[in-house]
Chain A
Amino acid sequence: MKLGRALLPPLWAFLIAMAAASALILAVGGSPLAVYRLLAAGTWGNGYGIGQVLFKTTPLILTGLSVAVALRGGLFNIGAEGQLTVGAFLTAFVGAHAASLPPVVAIPLALVAGAAGGAFVAAIAGALKAWRGAHEVINTIMLNFIVRALMVGLGARLFEREQIHTAPIALSARLPRLSSWLSALHGSAANASLFLAVAVALFVAWLFARTRIGFRIRAVGLSPAAAAAAGISVPRVQLGTMALSGAIAGLVGANFVLGYKYYYEDGFSGGIGYIGIAVAVLGRARPLGVVLAALVFGTLSQGGLAVNAVVPKEIVDVLTAVIIFAVAAAQPTVRRMLVGKEPAQ
């Protein structure tokens, strides 16, 4: 029954979104059923489709977890976009200079650089929240645009001549494609970073279920005043929560940089930082939920390309938005639900 109650709002959201999408498809003269069939066939219908879905799911797991971790600590991180940009850029930078290192050193080093970059950007908002009381929502938005401006200026100097991407990373820093083990996925960009994303999800689950740090983050998220009375340093936990959230977002470069294109490219993210908010909300800020929600949005993202010949692929963005609307509206206490266990009576 408890599971049913947890699943009901997302299910409702899905039905409402389907209805809205069907209306749009009908409005442009298409047949909803044909479109959905096409969408299914282009995603889970063949090996390539599955691989592409997994490829698109990987960064969404990470950004979803990033937003979810912050939410558990009572903070809203809208800045995953900026954090993952800096993280991916640093991952590419380190990866490009790792030619002399073996993969077991080069790959972790590149990932640590990415995590550190994301953590640093998020920590700015975290520190301003913790010690100056400045709203982290606005500050993370502002940081997104500060990062964007920085990448235009500083990043451009490091890009390859006449290109919008950095130099390619060393061979030793590259992650293997999943298709090298599972030939059915041939041609898809799915790579070993999927395991990283799942590992981070397991880590987050363990963090909140078993550790003191996870307990403190939850306590601060639920009641900063009670946490302070219990001897928890609220500012330090807030700073740490934001840094952790940013670090997870900073790992996104593993997928695109280390596993797919092997360089950082301007605008590679395409808004996955923002979709991460949708993933976290639909997944109710729980690691398993986030992974499942990431699969949903990953499927939609790939599915948009599959149906593009019949209806504009942007229908997927509309669908995504409507899902979030429906989840948010179905649960007025969504914020409370995300942070806490169950709403207080």
Chain B
Amino acid sequence: MIATLLSLGFFAAVVRITVPYALAALGGTLSERSGVINIALEGLLLFGAFSSTIGAWFGHGPVAGVLGGVLGGAALGALYALLVVTLKGDQIVCGVALNLFADGITRFLLKATFDSSSNSPRIDAWGHIGTTLILVTVALVALFHVVLYWTPFGLRLRAVGEHPEAAASLGVHPARIRWAALVLAGAVAGLGGAWLAADQRQFVAGMSNGRGYIALAAMIFGKWRPAWAAAACLLFGLAEALQIVLQASGVGVPAWAVQMLPYVLTMITLAGFIGRAQAPRALGKSD
């Protein structure tokens, strides 16, 4: 069993599970640091998976697929921004509705496009995009860290998430910053969706299957910091892969206990039992 854990296959399994978590969590971090709650990560992942499938199917290639995922996610992110930033709708209500919307519209379009209520046909056009996407994910984690902490955009974004009035009094426009954050969040979560579609070489209805909420949990467990959120995703991915190996080898760690782990850890973090988890101060306030 030790050999299994040290094998390349196990490592690959961990990475496979982690990548979509990490991409969605990065999106969540960006939007929440700008002051917008994002419980729509699940919907963004799902929609990205579908739009990337459309891209790969009609564009006959992985590049079109990835582009489809990113653009689809960005479009849904823009819809969310329109609702909560421009129209100042309640972020939680709109987030829930956006998840519902993504689930409905993908099933609707799936049936309209591929005449199936469960899945798209197998798409071989994805090719071997996996390795590239892993590298892109690692690069994005680093990039998000750098952007958030080192660049003027990141500085303004953090200021807007903490004290929008102070930022506005210096000529920084909170609405513009939040639009940018939400569209970027949608794009990167959409990329996570593309990974799901590429990994399974097809779109399956409801295939995000709660991953967006795990990403949400990881973001909080990582205390709203991109690198730490990604690390939390890796931890959750590791636990999941480990559980699969253990189950296969007959060691009795119940699957449900491992499945619960991210959520329990997040609740403990939120309750302040692991240091102080200080959410951005302006989080959830619509103006």
Interface residue ranges, A against B (CB under 8 Å): 24, 27-28, 76, 78, 128, 132-135, 137-139, 141-146, 148-150, 152-154, 271, 274-275, 277-278, 281, 311-312, 314-322, 324-325, 327-329, 332, 334-335
Contacts and interface: CB of A to CB of B under 8 A. Distances in A.
Contact of B107 (A134, A317, A319): A317
B104 A318 contact: yes
A196 B174 CA distance: 48
Contacts of A27: 112
B257 A153 contact: yes
A146 B93 contact: no
Contacts of B227: none
B104 A320 contact: yes
Interface residues of B, number: 46
B256 A141 contact: no
A314 B83 CA distance: 22
Given A145-B210, A329-B83, A317 B216 contact: no
Contacts, number: 149
A204 to B, nearest CB: 20
A138 B94 contact: no
9 contacts: A134-B267, A142-B266, A145-B263, A149-B256, A153-B254, A153-B257, A274-B100, A320-B104, A327-B93
B152 to A, nearest CB: 30
Interface string B200-214: 000000000010011
Interface string B100-125: 11011101100110000100000000
A332 B83 CA distance: 10
Nearest to B93: A328
B270 A139 contact: yes
Interface centre among B108, B112, B272 (most CB of A within 10 A): B108
Contacts of B134: none
B272 A132 contact: yes
A321 B107 contact: no
- Interface SS of A by simple majority: helix
Nearest to B80: A325
Contact of B256 (A138, A153, A314): A153
| Dominant secondary structure of chain B at its interface with chain A | helix
B93 A141 contact: no
A138 B104 contact: no
Given A325-B94, A335-B90, A314 B111 contact: yes
A205 B238 CA distance: 49
Given A135-B279, A141-B39, A142-B217, A324 B260 contact: no
B96 interface: yes
Given A132-B272, A134-B272, A138-B270, A332 B89 contact: yes
Contacts of A128: 267, 270-271
A150 B260 contact: yes
A199 B136 CA distance: 56
Listed from nearest, the 8 A-B pairs whose CB atoms lie closest are: A317-B104, A153-B256, A321-B101, A328-B89, A324-B97, A332-B88, A149-B259, A329-B87
B256 A322 contact: no
A154 B213 contact: no
B92 interface: yes
Given A76-B92, A141-B213, A320 B260 contact: no
Given A128-B271, A139-B267, A320-B100, A146 B260 contact: yes
